[in-house]
Amino acid sequence: MTILKFEHVGVQVKDIEESIEFYTQKVGLELIETLPHTDPSLKLAFLGLEGNVIVELIQGYNSSLPNEGKVHHFALAVDGIEEEFKRLKSAGVSFVEENIVTLPNGARYLFFYGPDKEWIEYYEVKR
């Protein structure tokens, strides 16, 4: 198993533009990248410090969020995502989706469940 680092926390938001403004202007994070998802109903924005992503904003998963918001997942950076997928599968881990998704920027990810159905992401940057 090769976990390289803590990657980011994914936060569901109702309005991604409003959230980008809040996190950049009020919280003090920098906008690193926005990009479309392969699912056109989703919008993504990555924010962080000194070029390091720590928060992913996600619009489109749930339009009726509770007042306290919703942490969607936490992500760990890995190397060799195909091998990690096979390893998790052989360990009997349940997956949110049974595939590895490739984003338009070349990054790849997969989601699996923790013991309390929390979403965990393995994230591999493009090479």
Please give the pLDDT value at position 127: 63
pLDDT in tens, 52-75: 888 999 998 776 766 666 788 888
Last residue of a domain, one of 12, 43, 61: 61
Q: Cβ distance 72 to 64 under 8 Å?
A: no
Q: How far apart are CA 36 and CA 14, in angstroms?
A: 16
Q: How far apart are CA 31 and CA 19, in angstroms?
A: 11
Q: Give the CB-side neighbour count of residue 79, counting CA atoms within 13 A.
A: 4
Amino acid of residue 70: K
Q: What is the domain extent for residue 75?
A: 71-126
Q: Is pLDDT at 1 greater than 80 in this prediction?
A: no
Name the nearest CA neighbour of 11 among 2, 3, 27, 1. 27
Q: Are residues 87 and 112 in the same domain?
A: yes
Q: What is the model's pTM?
A: 0.71
Name the nearest CA neighbour of 76 among 56, 94, 57, 93. 56
Please give the pLDDT value at position 76: 87
Q: Cβ distance 120 to 101 under 8 Å?
A: no
Return the HEC string of 44-68: EEEEEECCEEEEEEEECCCCCCCCC
**Is residue 57 included in any domain, yes or no?**
yes
Last residue of a domain, one of 40, 61, 82: 61
**Is residue 49 included in any domain, yes or no?**
yes
Average pLDDT, integer, range 79-91? 92
Q: Are residues 99 and 56 in the same domain?
A: no
Tokens 């904003």 — which residue? 57
